[in-house]
């Protein structure tokens, strides 16, 4: 994954995630997250009976955005992503759950479950690299390219 994308995701705390209901209507929620750059995973904590977790159990395909914690209108940066919700009961996934608590230790005191999103695609806008600069990453196609769109 591109170092610019990794650095950005590691520095931020909050993502917006969109899932779909049975009728194809979108439902968005915000969450605090931790990022695993080695495997391209996003961890977040949520109640197992929340509306969005019920939707993700039925349809594991989600999309989302990450904006800077402190937005600067002159140097626009942000991420759009597509991801798949992983089954956290798998042994290889279960052992990674502590990554979330390393970044958000206060969450240990709150009820809920850790959810894991495996990022499949990212488009990052980073105007600090030039106006309209986009960095694309795709897990399946092993694509990593930068484009400028005017």
User: DSSP secondary-structure letter at 101?
Assistant: H
Task: Write out pLDDT tens, residues 4-22.
Answer: 999 999 999 999 999 999 9
C-alpha to C-alpha distance for 94 and 73, rounded to whole angstroms: 39
Task: Write out pLDDT tens, residues 67-111.
Answer: 998 877 778 899 999 999 997 777 666 667 788 889 999 999 999
26-36/133-138 β-pairing:
unpaired
Q: Name the domain count of the chain.
A: 1
CB 146 within 8 A of CB 135: yes
CA 77-83-87 angle, 5° bins: 140
Entry pTM: 0.86
Q: At 52, which CATH number? A: 2.30.110.10
Domain that holds residue 26: 3-148
Task: Write out pLDDT tens, residues 23-59.
Answer: 999 999 999 999 999 989 999 999 989 999 999 999 9
- Give the pLDDT confidence score for residue 72 in this predicted structure: 76
């Amino acid at each position: 994954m591109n170092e610019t994308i990794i650095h950005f995701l590691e520095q931020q705390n909050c993502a917006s995630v969109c899932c779909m209901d049975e009728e194809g209507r979108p439902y968005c929620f915000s969450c605090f997250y931790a990022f695993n750059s080695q495997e391209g995973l996003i961890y977040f904590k949520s109640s197992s009976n929340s509306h969005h977790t019920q939707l993700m159990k039925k349809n594991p395909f989600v999309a989302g955005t990450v904006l800077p914690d402190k937005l600067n209108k002159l140097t626009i940066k942000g991420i759009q992503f597509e991801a798949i919700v992983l089954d956290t009961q798998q042994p290889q996934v279960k052992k990674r759950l502590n990554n979330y608590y390393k970044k958000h230790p206060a969450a240990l005191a709150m009820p809920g479950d850790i959810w894991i999103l495996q990022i499949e695609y990212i488009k990052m806008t980073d105007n600090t690299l030039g106006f309209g600069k986009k960095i694309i990453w795709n897990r399946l196609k092993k694509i990593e390219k930068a484009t400028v769109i005017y």
